[in-house]
């Protein structure tokens, strides 16, 4: 009769962000069975974050009447610089973490479940690759357009880490001597294609623009402009907004083509808040991509919109734990 009680072990995903921490319990096949979230408490240099994660996992296991031995492991995505071997995080400034955090050691000791960690953009790439637009293909590149621009590269079925900082798509140079980036360099993709980048391009192009445009009017009136407003006006054929979006999509097309000419993935998946502009964004980027992609790459690499939204992180984080089996 004991076979009756044998259950496939589960995995836990944790997506640590600056405002919320998302959790999910998944089957090994990636089916989300439970999910919940808590607020990120960044007070006291983020000293409560890891204890809060531990407390929340323990609380929910009790709630679902589950035990540590029923889990293969916990996978987590974190901002900052992640040391995957030691399971530590440094320099996650949106969490107020100023010193090295022994995340793995504390979580394993306190929960009795094995733990593994990678950076937040990489786990989102894994999520989209596994259960989203990537169709579980072994070669998928992921770009996320949000407050910043992040990314992750899956090549030959594995995340590309290089010596630690691979996949920094946001800091690909798309315009030598272009806008100054927070990283100290000039012309990074992030300075044009992030939510703030789009607004920056709009302001600069409005300075040079003399025609009839709602966007120009709103900027001249001192109204607050967002990337969404620029995209919405472009969709309504506002001439300046269309020029701004075309310029942004040009840079995205250059970046997608450069990634693809190097790695020839099956899919380049575009996600993040700015990608809510949907096919309007995707088709425009694809037009520029076609210009810069190597001919055989043009035929074999396909651009796609992300499908998992903000669930990508927690799903991809959980998939990290599969390596612990
Ligand atoms: Zn940069």
Q: Distance, CA 266 to ligand 1 centroid (Å)?
A: 26
CA distances from 59 to 23, 75, 125, 317 (A): 12, 18, 29, 20
Assess contact for 35 and 22: CB atoms under 8 A.
yes
Q: Distance, CA 11 to ligand 1 centroid (Å)?
A: 35
Q: Crossing angle of helices 195-207/227-235, nearest 10°?
A: 60
Q: Which domains does the chain have, with CATH numbers?
A: 10-126+312-324 (3.30.420.40), 136-307 (3.30.420.40)
Q: Distance, CA 185 to ligand 1 centroid (Å)?
A: 5
* Distance, CA of 133 to CA of 294 (rounded, Å): 23
Q: Distance, CA 160 to ligand 1 centroid (Å)?
A: 19
Q: Distance, CA 180 to ligand 1 centroid (Å)?
A: 8
CA dihedral 304, 305, 308, 313 (to 10 degrees): 80
One digit per residue, the tens of pLDDT, for the chain of length 325 reads 444 455 789 999 999 999 999 999 999 999 999 999 999 999 999 999 999 999 999 999 999 999 999 999 999 999 999 999 999 999 888 899 999 999 999 999 999 999 999 999 999 999 999 999 999 999 999 999 999 999 999 999 999 999 988 999 999 999 999 999 999 999 999 999 999 999 999 999 999 999 999 999 999 999 999 999 999 999 999 999 999 999 999 999 999 999 999 999 999 999 999 999 999 999 999 999 999 999 999 999 999 999 999 999 999 999 999 999 8
CB within 5 A of ion ligand 1: which residues?
171, 181, 183, 185, 188
**Residue whose C-alpha is closest to residue 230's, from 270, 203, 269:** 203
């Amino acid at each position: 009769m004991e076979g009756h009680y044998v259950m496939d072990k589960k995995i836990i995903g944790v997506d640590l962000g600056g405002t919320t921490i998302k959790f999910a319990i998944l089957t090994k096949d990636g089916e989300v069975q439970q999910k919940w979230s808590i607020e990120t408490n960044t007070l006291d240099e983020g000293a409560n974050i890891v204890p809060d994660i531990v407390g929340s996992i323990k609380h929910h296991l009790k709630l679902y009447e589950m035990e540590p031995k029923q889990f293969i492991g916990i996978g987590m995505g974190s901002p900052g610089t992640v040391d995957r071997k030691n399971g530590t995080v440094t320099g996650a400034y949106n969490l107020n973490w100023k010193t090295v955090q022994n995340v793995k050691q504390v979580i394993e000791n306190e929960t009795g479940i094995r733990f593994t960690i990678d950076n937040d953009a990489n786990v989102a790439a894994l999520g989209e690759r596994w259960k989203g637009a990537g169709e579980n293909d072994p070669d998928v590149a992921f770009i996320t357009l949000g407050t910043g621009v992040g990314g992750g590269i899956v090549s030959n079925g594995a995340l590309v880490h290089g010596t630690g900082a691979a996949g920094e798509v946001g800091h690909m140079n798309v315009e030598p001597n272009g806008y100054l980036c927070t990283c100290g360099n000039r012309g990074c993709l992030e300075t044009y294609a992030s939510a703030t980048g789009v607004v920056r391009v709009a302001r600069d192009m409005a300075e040079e623009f003399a025609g009839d445009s709602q966007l120009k009017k709103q900027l001249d009136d001192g109204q607050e402009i967002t990337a969404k407003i620029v995209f919405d006006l472009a969709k309504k054929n506002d001439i300046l907004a269309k020029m701004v979006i075309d310029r942004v999509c040009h840079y995205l097309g250059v970046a997608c083509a450069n990634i693809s000419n190097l790695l020839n993935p099956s899919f380049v998946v575009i996600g993040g808040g700015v990608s809510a502009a949907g096919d309007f964004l995707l088709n425009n980027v694809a037009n520029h991509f076609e210009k810069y992609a190597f001919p055989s790459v043009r035929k074999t690499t396909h651009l796609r919109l992300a499908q998992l939204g903000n669930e990508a992180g927690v799903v991809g984080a959980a998939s990290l734990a599969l390596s612990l089996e």
